[in-house]
Amino acid sequence: MSDLRICVNGACGKMGSEVVRAIAKNEGVVLKAAVDFMNVGKNIGEIAGTKDDILIQDDLKQALSKDEIDVVVDFTNHKVIYGNSKTVLEMGIPMVIGTTGLTNEQVDELKSICEQKQVGVLWATNFAIGAILMMEFAGKAAKYFGNVEIIEYHHDNKLDAPSGTSLTTAGIIKEIRKSKKQGHPDEKELLAGARGADYDGFKIHSVRLPGFIAHQEVIFGDVGQILTIRHDSMNRESFMPGVILGCKEIVKRNAFIEGLNKLL
């Protein structure tokens, strides 16, 4: 069986370059194209520290047209992910998307294109296997604990808050936990936002500081006890087994799949 030919979009970013390195280390996959608006014309191997001899391109459609690509991995940003996705899917190429920011309406349209083109997409807010388990365990705990708060910690260059992982976790909890407004009914914030963002009556808190990569605590409370479920990604390499798994699995599907857990 031939290697899976991959195009990395956003190849010069922190996550994109990590994907390039992961492809170089794993069997069954090979980097075929690298796309980014930075370092155009330079060798991605020099940027990512691999032996790849591939020049960085800035036109995604052109890169896909001239190179035989089996799957596109996209780690760009929320401003361009929708346009990127439409370009790739309309060419009938599967995708693994690690970029957040798609609206419900955009997701619906991408699902429609997947159906029309019979092509697969994996859209995941987190590719760390431990983070997937953290969300799974939080869902189980929500059946027995009605009070919960989420604290997520990320580096200070992260653009969105709350994180996609915390919103996914909150959505899982909402499906299981009986809706209610937590806290004292007369609670008053002396500073606006002190209690965090409200989600179905419970709070999500976002911390942004240098030194963090991606971390999350789901804290459940009940009379006389606290249950904390926490996951820590100490480096971006922690996401790579999930990305490679996603690439190998999504080429077998023909639907828009939300969450790496659906492939485990």
Tell me the two tokens of residue 236: 């971006």
Residue 1: Cβ within 10 Å count: 4
Name the percent of the chain in helix, strand, coil, to the closest 5. 35, 25, 40
CB 93 within 8 A of CB 71: yes
What stretches of 133-185 adopt beta strand conformation (E)?
A: 147-154
CB 235 within 8 A of CB 149: no
Tell me the two tokens of residue 233: 């990604």
Question: Closest by alpha carbon to 173, among 139, 124, 125?
Answer: 139
Q: Could you say which DSSP state residue 179 is in?
A: P
Order of strands across the sheet that contains 214-222 = 197-199, 202-208, 147-154, 214-222, 225-233
Tell me, what amino acid is at 29? V
CA-to-CA distance for 238 and 102, rounded, in angstroms? 24
Q: Could you say which DSSP state residue 193 is in?
A: T
Dihedral sign, CA of 261, 158, 103, 114?
Answer: negative
CA-to-CA distance for 206 and 155, rounded, in angstroms? 11
How far, rounded to the nearest angstrom, does the alpha carbon of residue 140 sit from its chain's CA centroid?
22
Q: Which residues are catalytic?
A: 154, 158
